[in-house]
């Protein structure tokens, strides 16, 4: 299948403002691009790119002051398969985990494991280890929090979400990640495009989405598996843009100075083979 996706985001700034952007798809998906993924800026600015310590493509610019818009529109191929399910995947003892996964057992800015450790063990200590335990955590976070876009809070931690019982997709991810880490299961944050493909259309405006991944040992060895505490169901055509410890590492835009959001439009739609071929030829 093919997905046409992209965004238009605009900010108002008050003088030269450095910005870091994580608005590209992850390098692992570059081979799936049907058309080039190019971010254009209005007014034009110099942009440089590098891959950060988590493997995300980071674009650096200096907004000149006034309004700056950034736009992308591209088509990408996808398997069309839902998130993989591996109920037999087992939890790996901490001493046997790969070195690179250990950071995803620790507390982080939004994943305050120290405040939820006792709660996690009281809730999930008796659940079967592995996939079943992660699913129990996802079920709990899904039921514990009420989704409310109007109550988004950039400072809300996992413990805050647990006590306030409300949040947006990032809060669902942070709570589930934190509970997994408390149970010695490596868990990392992920964000990107997730359109209403294969599910009823959501009438709310399209947004980027957040979910999480855990490291378990499946039939082919240790690997990362996708879970989504907000939707709590396998979904089609996730297009990952960034991964990290939590939303701190995966902020899609970071400004080093005052920048007011003036426009935010995201689109993610399945397109036909014919439409994809026309886009490729354009």
- Cα–Cα distance, 25 to 28 (Å, whole number): 8
Q: What is the pLDDT of residues 61-115, one digit of tens each?
A: 999 999 999 999 999 999 999 999 999 999 999 999 999 999 999 999 999 999 9
Q: What is the pLDDT of residue 149?
A: 87
3-state secondary structure of 166: strand
How many Cα atoms within 13 Å fall on the side-chain side of residue 13? 20
Is a pLDDT exceeding 90 seen at residue 276?
Answer: no
Stretch 261-275: mean pLDDT: 90
Q: What is the pLDDT of residue 217?
A: 98
CB 41 within 8 A of CB 47: yes
Count the helix, strand and coil residues of the chain and give each as a percent rounded to the nearest 5.
Answer: 25, 35, 40
pTM of the model: 0.95
Stretch 44-56: mean pLDDT: 97
**Topology match between the domains 2-80+251-281 and 94-236:** no
CB 36 within 8 A of CB 83: no
Is a pLDDT exceeding 80 seen at residue 263?
Answer: yes
Q: What is the pLDDT of residue 115?
A: 98
DSSP 254-277: EESS-EEEEEEEEEEEEE-HHHHH
Q: What is the pLDDT of residues 224-236, one digit of tens each?
A: 999 999 999 999 9
Q: What is the pLDDT of residue 212?
A: 98
Stretch 233-242: mean pLDDT: 96
Instruction: Write down the domain spans for the chain.
Output: 2-80+251-281, 94-236
CB 268 within 8 A of CB 74: no
Q: What is the pLDDT of residue 141?
A: 98
Length of the chain measured in residues:
282
Q: What is the pLDDT of residue 1?
A: 94
Reported as type and span, the H/E element at residue 67 is strand 66-77
Q: What is the pLDDT of residue 203?
A: 83
Q: What is the pLDDT of residue 75?
A: 96
CA 162 to chain CA mean position, Å: 20
Q: What is the pLDDT of residues 15-24, one digit of tens each?
A: 999 999 999 9
Q: What is the pLDDT of residue 279?
A: 67
Q: What is the pLDDT of residues 122-162, one digit of tens each?
A: 999 999 999 999 999 999 999 999 999 888 899 999 999 99
Reported as type and span, the H/E element at residue 50 is strand 48-51
Reported as type and span, the H/E element at residue 37 is none
**2-80+251-281 classified as CATH 3.40.50.800:** no
Going by their DSSP bridges, the two strands 166-167 and 146-147 should be labelled as parallel
Q: What is the pLDDT of residue 133?
A: 98
Q: How far is CA 202 from CA 63, 86, 198, 232, 268, in A?
A: 33, 28, 12, 16, 12
- Cα–Cα distance, 44 to 59 (Å, whole number): 14
CATH of domain 94-236: 3.10.620.30
Q: What is the pLDDT of residues 157-215, one digit of tens each?
A: 999 999 999 999 999 999 999 999 999 999 999 999 999 998 988 888 788 999 999 99
Is a pLDDT exceeding 80 seen at residue 278?
Answer: no
Give 277's contacts (C-beta < 8 A, 6+ positions apart).
none
- Cα–Cα distance, 177 to 171 (Å, whole number): 10
């Amino acid at each position: 299948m093919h997905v046409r996706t992209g965004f238009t985001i605009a900010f108002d700034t008050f003088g030269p403002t450095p910005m870091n952007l994580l608005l590209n798809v992850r390098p692992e998906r570059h081979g799936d691009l049907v058309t080039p993924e190019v971010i254009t800026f209005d007014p034009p600015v110099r942009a440089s790119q590098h891959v950060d310590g988590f493997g995300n493509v980071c674009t650096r610019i200096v907004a000149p002051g006034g309004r700056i818009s950034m736009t992308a529109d591209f088509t990408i191929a996808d398997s069309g398969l839902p998130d993989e399910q591996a109920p037999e995947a087992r939890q790996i003892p901490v001493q046997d985990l790969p070195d690179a996964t250990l950071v995803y057992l620790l507390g982080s800015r939004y994943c305050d494991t120290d405040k939820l450790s006792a709660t996690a063990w009281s809730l999930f200590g008796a659940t079967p280890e592995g996939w079943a335990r992660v699913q129990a955590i996802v079920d709990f976070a899904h039921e514990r929090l009420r989704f409310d876009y109007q109550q988004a809070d950039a400072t809300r931690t996992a413990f805050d979400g647990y006590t306030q019982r409300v949040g947006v997709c990032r809060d669902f991810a942070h709570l589930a990640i934190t509970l997994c880490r408390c149970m010695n299961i490596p868990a990392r944050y992920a964000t990107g495009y997730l359109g209403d493909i294969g599910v009823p259309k959501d009438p709310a405006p399209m947004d980027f989405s957040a979910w999480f991944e855990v490291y378990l040992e499946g039939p082919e060895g240790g690997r990362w598996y996708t879970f989504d505490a907000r939707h709590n169901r396998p979904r089609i055509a996730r297009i990952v843009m960034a991964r990290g410890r939590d939303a701190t590492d995966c902020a899609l835009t970071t400004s080093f100075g005052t920048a007011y959001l003036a426009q935010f439009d995201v689109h993610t739609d399945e397109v036909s083979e014919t439409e994809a071929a026309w886009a490729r030829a354009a």
